[in-house]
Chain A
């Protein structure tokens, strides 16, 4: 039998090509996600474009009305209590109108009721957060649902965010907070010495389909929801009532609204 060199090369080429058919077919036909772990949100995860809170301050008359809310928050988030003011750590607290809204209104004389009323203040979850811009490690960042979140793992304790926040909403751990905790919620981590912390709009509760702890403890005195969703309670409250926000002139666009 006579076979030419050209023919041999052709056959070799063909058979080499034929050998690749199966691997190529397998690679293309296989579902790339099969057999690999996946991550995703829980089924109960609450979603929003920008979470917002509307506080009806008319219904908080005295310290006794705000105390349970503060306690509820600080308890579940393992926020320690320090006697020493300099070391104080707070996620949500009460203050007077003149401190909360200095520069917002030009009233020389306030209505009596407003002057004495406690105003709950917390991280405003600004739509344009200056703390996020100040953070050199991106430990503070804005989530897609508007929450200004802290990644304690990344925080280096430089406190630029505390200087950047016009609301004093951030606290620094000058010492290990654990010995100063009266109760420990075993489901939530504590913090360590040298990190900054603040309110996170209860991101961990939203993931389970629950509203923030303070909103729940307020029993209808605080509305919580998506600011941009006309069906949400928060949106409706802002539409129906005249509201104030803290230090709007700074342009940080706080997402915590106050009905006065």
Chain B
């Protein structure tokens, strides 16, 4: 037990470093992001499905769309209200939500998720062709 001194001081330094961010940010909550809707999205009032569902589960829908379009070759999605959509991230979703930075990225950055959709899918089909 000759090294007790070193072990204890090492532990203290370690704890200080680990706990520093908690201490530094104490009592401060980062406000949740507010997504901005485009005029077009506002005018539509409802997305493919209800708003709350889309907020929480849009990735499930996108996954279904991807699977259906690519693997089954079916491209039309009919929502419970009977409205038809072409299943396309770049051409349908981003047609309304053409403000990716203000809409998609804001929440994704806050939640620290990094979807790799945009490696291939083009961000905004409405830009000059």
Residues of A within 8 A of B (CB): 35-42, 45, 141, 143-145, 149, 151-153, 184-187, 189-192, 203, 207
Contact = CB atoms under 8 A, between A and B. Distances in A.
A149 B70 contact: yes
B interface, size bucket:
20 to 34
Interface of B: 48-49, 64, 66, 68, 70-80, 86-87, 90-91, 116, 119-122, 124-127, 129
27 contacts: A35-B80, A36-B80, A37-B49, A37-B78, A38-B78, A39-B64, A39-B72, A39-B76, A41-B73, A42-B75, A42-B76, A42-B86, A45-B75, A149-B71, A151-B71, A152-B120, A184-B122, A185-B129, A186-B124, A187-B91, A189-B90, A189-B120, A189-B122, A190-B122, A192-B119, A192-B120, A207-B75
Contact of A41 (B48, B74, B124, B127): B74
Nearest to A190: B120
Given A39-B87, A185-B129, A189-B121, 8 more contacts: A39-B74, A39-B76, A40-B76, A152-B120, A186-B122, A186-B129, A190-B122, A207-B73
A203 to B, nearest CB: 7
A149 B49 CA distance: 30
A39 B68 contact: yes
